Amino acid sequence: MTENSTTEQLDRDRVRELFDLRSSYNAHMGGGYRDDPYPIWKRLREQAPVHPGIVHELTGFEGPAFFQGLPHPDRPHFSAFTWEACDAAYRNAEVFSASLQPVDPNNGNYDAMNSMLSMGGDQHRRYRQLVQPSFVPAKAEWWIRNWIEETVHHLIDGFAAEGRAELNVDFCAAIPVLTITGSFGVPVDQALDIREAQSRPGDLVEMIKPIVAARRENPQDDLISILVEAEMKDDNGVPQRLTDDEIYSFAVLLLTAGSGTTWKQMGITLTALLQRPEVLKKVNEDRTLLRPAIEEALRWVPTDPMFSRYVTRDIDFHGVHLPEGSVLHICLGAANRDPARWDNPDDYDITRKTKASFAFGGGAHICLGMHVARAEMRVGIGALLDRLPNLRLDPDREPPRFIGMYERGATEIPVVFG
């Protein structure tokens, strides 16, 4: 990779179209929601742990807002808002299922919902055991060394001499998509083609097929090679490996989940720090504070504040009867600010004692890529502080704000430095 090659090969206008929450590309996820939902979620949480209805409708948002578990207009919907209720739902996978029907990545349907995300029981355990080795904490350094660090510094090279930058698109958005596509063995100039094709899983799989075939013949030091060679023994001692279709399915899921969430969460963390110069100064002077700053942002404003589960049998749940076949929406954004678990939960406070939040979900389906996401944020923000002295919000530009319903993130993050 030559000097500035990463930024030269990325079409910034195209990046902005793909990654701006307000664009038509993201509007169907609730990108048109511009308000702060947390005061409403606080009121709902105080009124009852569980409410009949859907999170965005209970919040008062009437625009399009489709997400996992929606729309299903023929099913009763309920939403949980307290930590206790959300935790109970995550822990009871038998009653609160991730999928309505059996999942089979080998049936030619490569939609992200026909993947590990919706699996349950033994099927989920087998699949996760095969793909997990590349995503354990000890592997974070492998991701950093192979893709994250180089990507981060080449992106900064593109604007370090200018004295100003827009960090949400020109930096945060590009890091995860380049990291993931790099781990697939995809060149930089094809990275945005891969990202854009995630809405057309069939097209995306056609791009990935030759890579998987090549790695079966000649493995490399990359993610696809590890997936091709992953092996475990079943209860009868018979070796199990991932099929090509299962690898395609996982690649679609990883790109869909990973390239969207991490850039938004990094932008949220940067915005929280830039809006609090005294906190940013402390983090800059003591880099051990960067980890708690990231964890607190994850709790305070998680990018995906709601996930859904399907109710498999009638159950009385936290004061509400949920009939079989209904949908329970877990409002983890509200649960992450439950005063029963955190003091002053609406404050962004990097000194608070760390407790597990639902930022990466919970239960058996807790986010597989969370350690890679943390590494991307830690390396990315750390490099900005290392290389951009006196980093601060641009006083002549509109300050960033958080928008979006089911995918929350920052608007532009204009900064000056030097």
Give the per-residue pLDDT at 1. 40
For 5-416, the fitting CATH number among 1.10.630.10, 3.30.365.10, 3.40.50.2300, 3.20.20.70 is: 1.10.630.10
Q: Which two tokens stand for residue 175?
A: 């890091």
Residue bearing the bigger pLDDT, 131 or 39: 39
Residue bearing the bigger pLDDT, 218 or 117: 218
Q: Is 389 left (phi over 0), alpha (psi -120 to 50) or beta?
A: beta
Bridge partners of residue 165, in order along the sequence: 415
In angstroms, rounded to a whole number, what is the distance separating the alpha carbons of residues 192 and 174?
Answer: 9
Q: What whole-number percentage of the chain has pLDDT above 90?
A: 61
Report the range of poorest mean pLDDT among 11-25, 248-262, 297-311. Answer: 11-25
**Does 2 have pLDDT greater than 60?**
no
Residue with tokens 């209970």: 58
pLDDT in tens, 141-189: 999 999 999 999 989 998 999 999 999 988 998 898 889 989 988 877 7
**Does 4 have pLDDT greater than 50?**
no
Nearest CA to 68 out of 336, 257, 267 is that of: 257
Report the range of poorest mean pLDDT among 12-26, 111-125, 307-321. Answer: 12-26
What residue spans define the domains of the chain?
5-416
**Does 233 have pLDDT greater than 90?**
no
Give the per-residue pLDDT at 51. 98
Q: Rounded to whole angstroms, what are the CA distances from 263 to 34, 48, 147, 266?
A: 19, 33, 15, 5
Across the range 24-28, mean pLDDT stands at 63
3-state secondary structure 253-306: HHHHHHHHHHHHHHHHHHHHHHCCHHHHHHHHHCHHHHHHHHHHHHHHCCCCCC
In angstroms, rounded to a whole number, what is the distance separating the alpha carbons of residues 209 and 249?
Answer: 11
Give the per-residue pLDDT at 31. 82
Give the per-residue pLDDT at 210. 93
Residue bearing the bigger pLDDT, 195 or 131: 131
Across the range 382-402, mean pLDDT stands at 96
Classify 374 as helix, strand or coil: helix
Q: Rounded to whole angstroms, what are the CA distances from 386 to 79, 158, 266, 277?
A: 43, 15, 16, 16
In angstroms, rounded to a whole number, what is the distance separating the alpha carbons of residues 103 and 113?
Answer: 8
Residue 212: other Cβ atoms inside 10 A = 21
Band (pLDDT 50/70/90 cuts) for residue 3 is: very low
Average pLDDT, the chain: 89
Bridge partners of residue 231, in order along the sequence: 241
Residue with tokens 């020109």: 170
Nearest CA to 298 out of 333, 324, 329, 330 is that of: 333
DSSP string computed for 21-47 = TTSHHHIIIIIT--S--HHHHHHHHHH
Residue with tokens 């509007």: 27
Helix (H) or strand (E) holding 72: none
